[in-house]
Amino acid sequence: MRLLLVEDDVMIGEVVLDLLRAEHYAVDWVKDGEMADTALVQSQSYDLVLLDLGLPRKDGIEVLRAMRARKDRTPVLVATARDSVSSRIAGLDAGADDYVLKPYDLDELLARIRALMRRSAGRAEPIFEYKHITINPATREVMVDGAPATLSAREWAVLEALIARPGAVLSRAQLEEKLYSWRDEVSSNAVEVYIHGLRKKLGSDLIQNVRGVGYMVPKL
Amino acid sequence: MKVTHSLRGRLLWFLLAAIIIAAIAQATIAYRTARGDADEIFDYHMQQMALALRSSAPLSNTDAARAGIDADAENNELLVQVWTPDGVQIFRTVSRAQLPQHAVLGFSNVKANGTTFRIFSVQTSSQTVQVAQDMAVRRNMAGNLALRTVGPIAVLMPILMLVVWWVVSGSLEPVARVRTQVAARQADDLSPVSESGLPDEVRPLVHELNLLFGRVRTAFAAQQHFVADAAHELRTPLAALKLQVASLERAEHPEARQVAIGRLTAGIERATRLVEQLLVLARQEASAAGGSKAQQVALSELARRTIGDLIGVAQHKGVDLGLQHADEVSVNGQADALMILMRNLVDNAVKYTPPGGTVDVAVRGASIVVEDSGPGIALEERERVFDRFYRIAGSEAAGSGLGLAIVKAIAERHGATLTLEQSARLGGLSAVVAFPKHA
């Protein structure tokens, strides 16, 4: 899953970046409003935007409004120091999906991110079940026939991207976008390798190959 | 209520006393005058009667009646006696009093029968007519007459006193109202007091008070803003700390732990510095008169000490910091505040100059000049940088945004001007604090 982190404070940004990457998200970090605009316009593949409001060059609210005016439906989690009720109302009405105040608890932030991504996938249940496979995104536990399966970080990232949109086909390029941020090197058949690994561990009926197009998990 | 301390009391006391004294004086004079007039009238009456009687002789009762003498024994008002030249009494009004024939003509007073009589005698060739009146009776009648003139005064006096009481109280009522209004206020109620209906003597006082309230209200609001701003600004450093601790918790390898600890330490320093700067700024803005006493402060000495304090940081960063020029000048001011001013300027210069750059401190005349070879401040930002917490976009992470606000507050307190320009020599910022010439 690919996140856009918009945060001008360097100390906060560098820590959040590391922590999100430790959670196996691919994260791009921009430090002002105009760069956030540019990143959002250029790339449509963010699964979530973590947006600070007090930004130089362009305020976070303006970035948000511009996003929604473009019909960009990416979930937005606003994390800001602006705590007044009127600010919160303004943020939510401008198109934010959630509004969190600084200082926040990291685990709570991660849970909110998961909730937003779940909802944007059209799913309400936290736990994904398909035949004999159970997947819990919060705990990263995967059970096959009741036995736990161990996935690598990248395998998990591919799986998470696929079960986020059941019934939708994701091409190799799209999956690569989900896996890697700007700074990463991508090897050419990395995605195939991970899919292969997943099929071995989970069985072959969960991840379906759509010939010439990409991969998908079936709709439940 | 001591009379001397209360305007109302003083007014009422003196006015009412004046009214009473005037009333008494007036009553006394009226009484005396009335009595004097009554006396004259009675005398005149007696005289006329005597003159009217002397023409006829001998008197009969009908004649007497016509002359207005009442022969009734009940009425003791006037006693008339008539004698012939040889002393034979030919007429007298009936009365228990027995008056002797009296030889003096005209008006006289005679004591007889335990009382004094007023007597008027007139003599003709054929008879002597004497009219007498008991002075006690006369005084009684005159007294009653006089009292009747005094009556209205006695009635009017209490009414007048009431009116005065009412007018004085009413006139001073707006003052009492202002007092109640102000007394009923809460500690933080600084709204203006109504000036309507106040007498001219009091209104300027209340007006000035309202102006003072206005000034205090502004200062109070400014302080509340400051507190709110400060609390808001502290959120970001605290959020960073919270996240840095979470990162430390999750660090599995020693290298990761070291990195996390380093970040946490930097975060705590930043938060500490912000709090320190906030306190400095709050103190500078609050104390106009407070703080250490004003003394002669040697600017060059201040410059040397500041450079000594900051040289370690500068060298660590690779910035060349030095004292370029020092006139031996002293200005009048607070030594510790000026130290803070100098330190903030030099600290800023070092912070915003990239490694390999230069920071020059100079004392020229009564001015402090700090120049650096950093990026300087763009023209459009030069006004805003003095705002509290304002940080230029993309600037140094560890700054609090308060340095220039503090410098400005201290400079203003000392009557000095603070100017930001581009440094011609070094290419970066030139910050000049110019103290007044006579300092």
Q: Which residues of A touch B (CB under 8 A)?
A: 9-12, 14-16, 18-19, 22, 31-32, 56-57, 81-83, 101-107
Region A88-111: mean pLDDT is 94
Q: Which of B240, B270, B394 is nearest residue A56 as measured by Cβ atoms?
A: B394
Give mean pLDDT, residues A6-12.
93
Question: What pLDDT was estimated at residue B73?
Answer: 40
What is the nearest CA distance from B233 to chain A, expressed in angstroms? 8
Select from B225, B234, B236 the residue whose CB has the most chain A CBs within 10 Å, as the one to mutate to test that interface.
B236
Q: What is the pLDDT of residue B432?
A: 93
The mean predicted confidence, pLDDT, of chain A is 89
Structure confidence at residue B103 (pLDDT): 65
A64 sits in which H/E element: helix A60-69
Nearest CA in chain B to A107: B246
State the nearest Cα–Cα gap between A13 and chain B, in angstroms: 8
**Interface touch A81/B270, C-beta < 8 Å:** no
Cβ of A19 and B263 within 8 Å?
no
B289-316: b (≥16 Cβ within 10 Å) or e: eeeeeeeebbbbebbeebbeebeeebee
- Among B241, B243, B259, B272, most A C-beta atoms within 10 A, so best to mutate, is B243
CATH topology of domain B292-434: Heat Shock Protein 90 (3.30.565)
Give how far B199 is from chain A: nearest CA, Å.
47
CB contact under 8 A, B250 and A22: yes
List of chain A residues whose C-beta atoms are within 8 Å of the C-beta of residue B232 = 81-83
Distance, CA of A73 to CA of A67 (rounded, Å) = 8
Q: Distance between CA atoms of A25 and A164, rounded to whole angstroms?
A: 14
Q: In this complex, do A11 and B267 lie within 8 Å of one another by their Cβ atoms? A: yes
Taking the C-alpha atoms of residue A157 and residue A155, their distance in angstroms, rounded to an integer, is 5
Nearest to A15 among B247, B391, B393 (CB): B247
Q: What's the count of helices (H) and strands (E) in chain A, helices before strands?
A: 8, 11
**CB spacing of A19 vs B247 below 8 angstroms:** yes
Of B242, B391, B394, Cβ closest to residue A103: B242
Cβ within 8 Å, pair A12-B235? no
- For the domain made up of A128-216, the CATH class stated in words is mainly alpha
CATH number given to B3-157: 3.30.450
Contact (CB, 8 A) for A14 and A27: no
Q: Identify the pLDDT of residue B386.
A: 85
pLDDT value at A64 more than 80: yes
Q: What is the helix (H) or strand (E) element at residue A21, kind and residue range?
A: helix A10-22
Interface touch A16/B394, C-beta < 8 Å: no
| Minimum mean pLDDT range among A173-177, A196-200, B146-150, B303-307 | B146-150
Question: Cα separation of B113 and B132, whole Å?
Answer: 13
Percent with pLDDT over 70 in chain A: 99
What does CATH list as the number for B203-282? 1.10.287
Beta strands B106-112; A128-130: pairing state: unpaired
How many Å apart are CA A119 and CA A75, to the nearest integer? 9
The residue in chain B having the minimum alpha-carbon distance to the alpha carbon of residue A58 is B393
Q: B364 forms bridges with which residues in the sheet? A: B367
CATH of A2-120, one of 3.90.1150.10, 3.40.50.2300, 1.10.3720.10, 3.40.50.261: 3.40.50.2300
- Taking the Cβ of residue B270 and every Cβ of chain A, the question of whether any pair is shorter than 8 Å is answered with yes
pLDDT the model gives residue A124: 75
List CB contacts (< 8 A) between B267 and chain A: 11
Interface list for B 93-112 with A (CB within 8 A):
none
Q: Give the distance from residue B250's alpha carbon to the nearest chain A alpha carbon, in angstroms.
A: 9
Model pLDDT, residue B74: 43
CA B180, CA B236: separation in Å to the nearest integer? 47
Give the pLDDT of residue B334.
86
Cβ of B239 within 8 Å of Cβ of A10? The answer is no
Q: Which of residues 360-399 of B touch A (CB under 8 A)?
A: 391, 393-394, 397
For chain A, what are the domain ranges? 2-120, 128-216
pLDDT of residue B282: 81
Q: To the nearest whole angstrom, how far is the Cα of B176 from the nearest Cα of chain A? A: 43
- Would you call A102 and B397 a contact, using CB atoms and an 8 Å cutoff? no
- Report how far residue B258's alpha carbon sits from residue A151's, in angstroms, rounded to the nearest whole number: 29
Q: Where are the domains of chain B?
A: 3-157, 203-282, 292-434
Question: How close A69 gets to chain B, by Cα (Å)?
Answer: 26
Q: Look at residue A60 in the predicted model and tell me its pLDDT.
A: 94
Q: Give me the mean pLDDT over the A66-71 stretch.
A: 93
Per-residue pLDDT tens listing for chain B (439 residues): 555 677 888 888 888 899 889 888 988 888 888 888 888 888 888 888 888 877 655 555 555 555 555 544 444 567 778 777 777 777 777 665 666 666 678 888 888 777 788 888 888 777 788 888 888 887 888 778 878 878 888 888 889 889 988 988 888 888 888 888 888 888 778 788 888 777 788 888 888 988 988 888 888 887 888 888 888 888 989 999 999 999 999 998 999 999 999 999 999 999 998 898 888 888 877 665 455 677 888 999 999 999 999 998 899 889 999 998 888 888 888 888 899 999 999 999 998 899 999 999 999 988 999 999 988 888 888 888 888 877 776 666 567 788 888 899 889 888 899 999 998 888 899 999 999 876 4
Of the partner residues A22, A82, A103, the one whose CB lies closest to the CB of residue B238? A103
Give chain A positions within 8 Å (CB) of B241. 103
* Predicted local confidence at residue B97, as pLDDT: 60
